[in-house]
Amino acid sequence: MWRALAALLAALVAPGCGTHEPTGRPPTERAVTMELDELMLALRDAVAADAASPESIGAALHAEVVRAEAPMPWELRLAEPRVTSAALVLQADGELSHLELVLAPASDLALGKLSALFGEPHPLPLMHWNRPAQVAFYPATRPGQRFTCAIIASLSPGEDPTPSSRVSGLVFRRDPVL
């Protein structure tokens, strides 16, 4: 499961879509084999996993995890040119709250791709006139699942939510199943 999480970031940074196996080479030199659709679903599952932790996600991403004092997010230092930054935000009790990814303009992830994967998009209220629009997805949960993952996509500044809107950032938020 954690390999799939790493594969999502590899797909966002390499031409085409894919995953890679650990080879000792930098992530950008690894072979790309898995589809982006599978990776996004795997990332959703990884964040919702019972055992999700900063260390396990950092290890899966082959990223250096930079610890921070609460309430600051933990930084993930990646060698991924199409991911500008990645951060893990923890709750006060140390549990994973969410994973934030800021995508480089070259990532080419469109809102329509997320809709195809996660269902109906739910545009969120605009919090400030100078902030990008955000759209949330609430994938269905499976029986016995303790956590779910809401996906929140930030669009490029000035874009309205349409299937061709470019996604500039993603938040994979870990929520308890109620």
pLDDT tens per residue across span 96-110: 999 998 988 877 889
Residues 148-158 have pLDDT tens digits of: 999 999 998 78
pLDDT for the residue numbered 56:
74
Distance separating alpha carbons of residues 137 and 119, to the nearest angstrom: 7
Domain count for the chain: 1
User: Please, which pLDDT band fits residue 19 given cuts at 50, 70 and 90?
Assistant: very low
In 3-state terms the chain splits into helix, strand, coil percentages (rounded to 5) of: 25, 30, 45
Domain ranges, residue 151: 2-176
pLDDT band at residue 9 under the 50/70/90 scheme: very low
How far apart CA 154 and CA 166 sit, in angstroms, is: 9
CA distance 33 to 51: 26
- Residue 125 structure tokens: 């209220």
